[in-house]
Amino acid sequence: MTDVIAKGIKVEISQDSYEAYIVVDESDLQVSDIQAALETSGVVYGLESNAAFEAMNNLGKQVLVATGTRHTDGTDGWFERIKRREETEGESKFGISNVYAGETFGIIHKPTPGSVGVDVYGKKVQPKPGKSINIFTGPNIKRVESDDAIGLEATIDGNLKMGNASAEIIAEYVIRGDIDYSDGEIEFAGSLKVLGDVKGAGSLKIKHNVYIQGSVEDARIISGGTVKVKGSFVGRGDGLIRAAGDVELNVVLNQMIETGASITIIKECVNAHLIATEDIIGHNAIVMGGVVTAGNKIEVRTLGGELYSTTKVKLGTLELLTEDIFAINKEIELQKKASEQLKNEIYLLVRDRIDNNNFTNEKANLLKTLQTRLQEQNDSIKQLTERKQDASAVISKKRNCVLTVISQIHQSVVVEINGVRFALKQSYNNVTFQETKGEIIRSNNQ
């Protein structure tokens, strides 16, 4: 808008009222004339001290004489997803997004109110406040509020399901079909239920329990809880089940099973390698060939076979922990290599940051992620080392180990209990074997 206040003076106000200009057309005007024109126009805020002199020295030209303080509109609230790592192809295929108890997986950033402005008339201009974002959270999520944000923290391990305005964590994830080798490695923070088969040489790393309705081929299944396979675990010998809790299977052929608890075989175990810290139980099962190792007891229906290769049975802490220490050493070596690789990647990013070589937000986030992974790797190595030390401390202790065969133990079986080896000279029915004072004692079951 333009106001002609007096002869020879024009006052022009911008449409948003944040700027005022003057145009002087006559040379005989005084500064007081310009000041009076501005006062009459209501321009009282943000006046430029030298603008009147400049206008008089630049007749006919527009000169900025006052500038207001612009308001700033608020910003809308928004959600930031924080991830430890990106999902693998297989995890993305099945919709798995891992979160762990105590982990902050997302931040709800609150809206900002903006700042008040003042125009050249001295009037306050109110900003447009930002809009809030509302996210409904389920019972397994803790909201940690600060002045400018709300952190979303998982209270359980599980799968995060994000909707348009909701977040929930499910402890058990169900895959209703098969898992194929082409799915690659799948890691899950909670418990996993597979209603189909695990085909080929896939890889599952599950923090809690695993239940498989179908069968497993040459897959690697690592579980921090229990593992139950309703079908068979049959392959070429490349398969592995390693669990912290109990393992239960129907049929095992050629594969390897390791557990920190007990193994239960329902029907048959042929040419497999079983290692259980506690017991191996198969009251109705036939166990033939391979190596069967337990820390406490073995109870099976039939052990070995008349025309089958040697079945080796090992019982006791000495044998079990010797194998355990070997496995721990191997795992420590692998994790140390992975740790060195992470250190190299972190070093390159740190050098990049020091040299100010276009260190983007993406690189900063990657550095933070790698540092977190390195800490987790070091913690894992520390735990493995402590586990190895504990195993070494008790390796010389003996247990009252018992081998019980309900039906028949064949001559092809070699028994070793607490380091004492015993080769059968004939087959026996319904017998128990124990080690006493360096000898294997056989007795009939009651």
In a domain, 370, yes or no: yes
- The count of structural domains within the chain is 4
Burial (Cβ within 10 Å: 0-12, 13-18, ≥19) of residue 240: middle
The CA distance from 102 to 110, in Å, is 22
181 and 250 part of one domain: yes
Domain that holds residue 101: 73-115+127-168
Write down the pLDDT at residue 99.
Answer: 93
100 and 164 part of one domain: yes
In a domain, 271, yes or no: no
Q: What is the DSSP string of 278-303?
A: SEEEEEEEEEESSEEEESSEEEEEEE
In a domain, 78, yes or no: yes
- Residue 317: band (very low, low, confident or very high) from pLDDT cuts 50, 70, 90: low
- Residue 366: band (very low, low, confident or very high) from pLDDT cuts 50, 70, 90: confident
What angle, 0 to 180 degrees and rounded to 10, lies between the N-to-C axes of helices 361-394 and 317-354? 160
In a domain, 436, yes or no: no
Of 372, 394, 416, the one marking the end of a domain is 394
In this structure, are residues 103 and 154 in contact, taking their beta carbons and an 8 Å threshold?
yes
- Residue 398: band (very low, low, confident or very high) from pLDDT cuts 50, 70, 90: low
In a domain, 225, yes or no: yes
135 and 198 part of one domain: no
Write down the pLDDT at residue 3.
Answer: 61
Mean pLDDT of the chain: 89
191-242 pLDDT, tens digit per residue, is 999 999 999 888 999 999 999 999 999 999 999 999 999 999 999 999 999 9
133 and 202 part of one domain: no
In a domain, 406, yes or no: no
Beta strands in 155-296 (DSSP E): 158-162, 166-170, 172-175, 185-188, 191-194, 203-206, 210-212, 220-223, 227-234, 240-243, 247-253, 256-259, 263-270, 273-276, 279-288, 291-294
Of 211, 229, 261, the one marking the end of a domain is 261
Write down the pLDDT at residue 195.
Answer: 96
145-168 pLDDT, tens digit per residue, is 999 999 999 999 999 999 888 999
**Does residue 436 or residue 302 have the better pLDDT?**
302
194 and 142 part of one domain: no
